[in-house]
């Protein structure tokens, strides 16, 4: 086996149940591969973190890690009309988003982020003015 470096800002790592690890193209929606994805992003605008969409992972929790900068992570309320829950992340902080919980991000500053989750069944849903 040849050992090579992987640019984590250009690729994602997929950790498969059989122990294999592969560098692959990052995916925001379901891959169906059964692999856990670790993806690192440099983001400068809310559009790059799909702030206008809710995201949900039905098959696993997600660790959202702030490496540099700062973000606000919002959890959609369980009941219509309730307020969103918000968690602020500074460099070196992470939050674990519960399995099946709709969430979204907004930037406090340009940031480097890392996401770790099983993307099977991942869904994106456009925000509405009533969210």
Q: State the Cα–Cα distance between residues 68 and 120, nearest whole angstrom.
A: 27
Q: Which domains does the chain have, with CATH numbers?
A: 12-126 (2.60.120.10)
Task: Write out pLDDT tens, residues 90-127.
Answer: 999 999 999 999 999 999 999 999 999 998 889 999 99
What's phi and psi for 121, nearest 5 deg?
Answer: 80, 5
* Model confidence pLDDT, tens digit, residues 37-64: 999 999 999 999 989 999 999 999 999 9
- CB 115 within 8 Å of CB 39: yes
Instruction: Please tell me the predicted confidence (pLDDT) of residue 98.
Output: 97
CB burial class (10 A; 0-12, 13-18, 19+) of residue 80? exposed
* Other Cβ atoms closer than 10 A to 7: 8
Rg (CA), the chain: 15
């Amino acid at each position: 086996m040849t050992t090579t470096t992987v640019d984590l800002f250009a690729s994602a790592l997929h950790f498969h149940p059989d122990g294999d690890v592969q560098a692959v193209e990052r995916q925001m929606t379901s891959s169906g591969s059964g692999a856990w994805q670790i993806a690192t992003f440099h983001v400068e605008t809310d559009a790059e973190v799909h702030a206008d969409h809710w995201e949900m992972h039905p098959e696993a929790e997600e660790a959202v890690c702030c490496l540099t900068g700062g973000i606000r992570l919002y959890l959609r309320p369980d009941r219509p009309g309730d307020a969103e829950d918000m968690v602020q992340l500074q460099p070196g902080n992470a939050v674990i988003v519960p399995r099946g919980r709709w969430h979204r991000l907004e930037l406090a500053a340009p940031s480097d982020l890392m996401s770790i989750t099983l993307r099977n069944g991942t869904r994106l849903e456009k925000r509405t003015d009533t969210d």
